Structure 1
Amino acid sequence: MNKKKLAAFAAVAVLFGALGAYLGVKKQPQGPVTTAIAPTGGPAHSASTHLYAQSLNDLAGKTESLDKWKGKPLLVNFWATWCAPCVQEMPELSALADEEAGKRFNVIGIGIDSPSAMSEFAAKHNIKYPLYVGGMGGTELSRGFGNPSGGLPFTVLIGADGQVKKTYLGKLKFDELKADLAAL
């Protein structure tokens, strides 16, 4: 390849790199994408039914059936230790779960991560709600709730009737979440 062609390719690469950097800086940060799913007025949402049919390991390696969470509103948070927004929201989510202590609703986390990374994180950050190891199967569970890309964090609010009341993609806005919880 001659020097002129090499210089032309380098110039094009620099131009696209600069354009990408410019667009990345100009993009405004967005809050979570929320979706309300209309209740069917009948049986539980199929994704909820599928969730409650699962048995996942807790951080101690004990297999637990998720059907024990049926019958009371449930907030399910899909997360990973390598996901910065997940890590940022977890202390506040843990404080909310600790404050509530299961009186009106329960909070669980399904980690898309390794058991060792999750255990280390939970101990370091004193997470107060039950965490389950979902692995890549956790991503599939979140897709059933309307998260086709498997983005994290992804949180699902399920009513006591098993109906999906709302989903949140991205870092939670806790004022909005508390209002949604109060409306249950």
Structure 2
Amino acid sequence: MRAWHRKLILLLALLAFGPGAPAAANAWDLPPLVLPDLQGRRHSLYDWHGKVILLNFWASWCGPCLTELPHLAEFQRRYGSRGLQVIGVGLDNPRKLANVARTLEIPYPVLHSPVEQATALLQQWGDRAGVLPYTVVIGRDGRLVFSRVGVFDEEAFAAIVAPLLEP
């Protein structure tokens, strides 16, 4: 796909789902998400209310996921102080997820879901095909802003997330 095609698609998505447009969900009227992190502590998505949340579903066996994770880590490092919270949801064995998180020095929370619940969880969040990686962006007000199957790259971040971090 040509670069200008991708930019046009991202711009149209931002216009359709971005700030000021009708939101896909009411504030904090999102699917439930209460999962343990890699240390066993349970978290609710609401733990991060008031932040722009980039919720990323991934697995250790997913090649595109492993390509994407360093970018997400860099987004968290660069924009965390501006209100960004990346949250990983690993759909895999916690030991394998922890190994990837440690190796890549992931600086954001990684939650995990039992593999047998992965398909249902992805479908709840709008990924009907169950394809990974899958990313959801939630605004500071708890509204679903955008979702995407595939690698969430710098271009997508600039078009979708960066405007939400503006004061």
Q: TM-score range by the shorter chain?
A: 0.7 to 0.9
* Structure 2 counterpart of 1:72, from 37, 51, 72: 51
Give the distance between the partners of 1:178 and 1:107, measured in 2 at CA. 15
Give the distance between the partners of 2:23 and 2:77, measured in 1 at CA. 31
Count of residue pairs brought into register by the alignment = 149
* Structure 1 counterpart of 2:38, from 46, 53, 59: 59
Q: Does the Cα contact within 8 Å between 1:78 and 1:138 map onto a contact in 2?
A: no
Give 1:101 shift: 2.2
Give the distance between the partners of 1:102 and 1:152, measured in 2 at CA. 28
* Structure 2 counterpart of 1:182, from 158, 162, 165: 162
TM-score by length of 2: 0.78
* Structure 2 counterpart of 1:134, from 84, 91, 113: 113
Q: Does the Cα contact within 8 Å between 2:53 and 2:138 map onto a contact in 1?
A: yes
RMSD of equivalent CA atoms: 2.4
TM-score by length of 1: 0.71
| Unaligned segments of structure 1, at least 5 residues | 1-30
* Structure 1 counterpart of 2:140, from 138, 160, 184: 160
2:82 is paired with a residue whose SS is coil
Moved more, 106-115 or 34-43: 34-43
Give 1:42 shift: 7.5
* Structure 2 counterpart of 1:104, from 53, 76, 83: 83
Identity in percent: 34
Q: Which runs of 4+ in 1 moved over 6 A?
A: none
| Unaligned segments of structure 2, at least 5 residues | 1-5
Q: Does the Cα contact within 8 Å between 2:56 and 2:88 map onto a contact in 1?
A: yes
The structure with more radius of gyration: 1
